[in-house]
Amino acid sequence: MRHEVRMRIRGLMPEKLIERARETGVRFMSIEPGSHHEITVEVGAADAEKLSALCARVSIPCEVLSRRGKSALAAALRRRWTLLIGILVMLAACWALLGRVWRVDVRFIGDSAARGDPAAVAEALREMGVHAGMARDIDPRILSEALLSRCEGLSYAGARLQGVRLSIEAAPETASPEVYDVRVPRDLYADRCGIVVSVNVESGQPCVKPGDTVRRGQLLIRGEEKRTKEETRGIAALGEVIVRAWFEGSARGDMSVERWEDTGRVSTAATLKTPWLNVPITEGMCYAHQSEQVDNLPIGGLYIPVGIERVTRRERRVRREAAHRDALIKSLSALAVADARARLFAAGIAKYEIARCWTRVNAISEDALEVSAVLEITTNTAVTAEALRQGG
């Protein structure tokens, strides 16, 4: 950050004063001649005091117009001396409070995170004396091992101290896979439409063959087997019926696009941020269309919430121009494929393979294009009647 003092000097021959000031070691950042024997200069904070003393000796009026950086901060602290006392009190309070844990967060992770029991983990933490306001002199590794031994149904537990926050992650055990009883009769049905690619039957009688078109809810494998030529018995149908299915997505775009560009005008504002009040150091301009970049420069480090916020605003303007057709088609194709993948994800298919993907360009009008994308997948569509009902 620049530390400058902007000053205005009035006199019959201010140029001679500038030359004399340079001889005494004053360094000028900028010199702007004005009207009526005026000169506006920018100097450092130390050089500003030398220049003010020199003007006082030769009886030339010297006026401070603005201050930036540490010079402005020092001037603000002199005007508000109670602020320094408040900061010192705040630092003392922070020092006393940072030695304790004031927040305990529990988060479940893993494929079975939804099966986690927050009440059981909270009860185990209470029994171990872990609560908000406790001292930070705890060993996260020992805490993780104790939590894992006290809570049943957890495959992992980890603790981590982050400032005044204790973060605990736990992973519930994965449920055992479903076990089929071959003696319980059941059939397998199609959970989606498609064209059959292959049929692999482990038990039961196939009802479709490769090349057939199947509809959702259609019987694929009947759960029965022949005991004799005249007698059959019911069994649990097992097997896979691989089908081809298609998902389509689309995207539209204009042949003309708006381009935002910087005009080159930049404004910077700085503010001293504290928990009690904000002290402006410099004020910048605001534009009708602008982009902002906020930089936070901490003064007190990680645990003391005092710092300087610097906002850099850049003026922007919009310019409309014709879009490059090939680039637009490439961009819309990617969006259309993403839309098709989103529809595939929404269908809830657990396992699949993408066989092919193709796109098609359609001209809606002279000013707009539409791109359609088609995903062709292969997946096992054979499910039980119960799974078919749960899938809607």
- pLDDT one-digit tens code per residue, 23-58: 888 888 888 887 777 888 888 878 888 888 888 888
Same domain assignment for residues 327 and 284: no
Nearest 5°: the CA angle 92, 97, 103 is 155
**Domain edge (last residue) among 139, 172, 205:** 172
Q: What is the pLDDT of residues 319-336, one digit of tens each?
A: 877 778 888 888 889 999
**Domain range for 66:** 5-77
Same domain assignment for residues 327 and 245: yes
**Which of 18-22, 50-54, 65-69, 185-189 has the least mean pLDDT?**
65-69
As a whole number of Å, the end-to-end CA separation of the chain is 62
Same domain assignment for residues 233 and 331: yes
Q: Has residue 192 been placed in a domain?
A: yes
Same domain assignment for residues 327 and 188: yes
Which two three-digit tokens encode residue 206? 């196939």
Q: Cα 206 from chain centroid?
A: 50
Q: What is the pLDDT of residues 168-201, one digit of tens each?
A: 888 888 765 555 555 678 889 998 899 999 999 9
Provide the pLDDT for residue 1. 40
CATH code of 130's domain: 3.10.20.310
Q: Has residue 82 been placed in a domain?
A: no
On whether the CB atoms of residues 181 and 236 are closer than 8 A, the answer is yes
Same domain assignment for residues 313 and 280: yes
pLDDT of 158 above 80: yes
Query: In whole angstroms, what is the distance from residue 384 CA to residue 381 CA?
Result: 10
Query: In whole angstroms, what is the distance from residue 48 CA to residue 66 CA?
Result: 11
Which two three-digit tokens encode residue 29? 């950042």
pLDDT of 69 above 70: no
The percent of residues above 90 in pLDDT, for the chain, comes to 20
| 2 or 374, higher pLDDT | 374
Provide the pLDDT for residue 40. 87
CA nearest neighbour of 159 among 144, 145, 147, 137: 144
Q: Has residue 87 been placed in a domain?
A: no
What integer best gives the mean pLDDT of the chain? 83
**Domain edge (last residue) among 302, 320, 338:** 320
Q: What are phi and psi of 83, to 5 degrees?
A: -60, -40
Q: Has residue 370 been placed in a domain?
A: yes
| 80 or 195, higher pLDDT | 195
**Domain edge (last residue) among 304, 320, 336:** 320
Query: In whole angstroms, what is the distance from residue 36 CA to residue 17 CA?
Result: 16
Q: Has residue 35 been placed in a domain?
A: yes
Same domain assignment for residues 306 and 333: no
Same domain assignment for residues 201 and 347: yes
pLDDT of 342 above 80: yes
Same domain assignment for residues 310 and 190: no
The percent of residues above 70 in pLDDT, for the chain, comes to 91
Same domain assignment for residues 251 and 151: no
CATH code of 10's domain: 3.30.70.790
Helix (H, G, I), strand (E, B) or coil at 327: helix
pLDDT of 275 above 50: yes
Q: How many domains does the chain have?
A: 4
Q: Has residue 93 been placed in a domain?
A: no
Same domain assignment for residues 242 and 346: yes
Same domain assignment for residues 118 and 152: yes
Query: In whole angstroms, what is the distance from residue 258 CA to residue 75 CA?
Result: 46
Q: Has residue 214 been placed in a domain?
A: yes
Confidence of residue 73 (pLDDT cuts 50, 70, 90): low
Mean pLDDT of the region 86-102: 76
Provide the pLDDT for residue 299. 77
Same domain assignment for residues 248 and 327: yes
Q: What is the pLDDT of residues 288-316, one digit of tens each?
A: 889 999 988 887 665 667 888 899 999 99
Mean pLDDT of the region 215-235: 84
Provide the pLDDT for residue 77. 59
pLDDT of 7 above 90: no
Q: Has residue 113 been placed in a domain?
A: yes
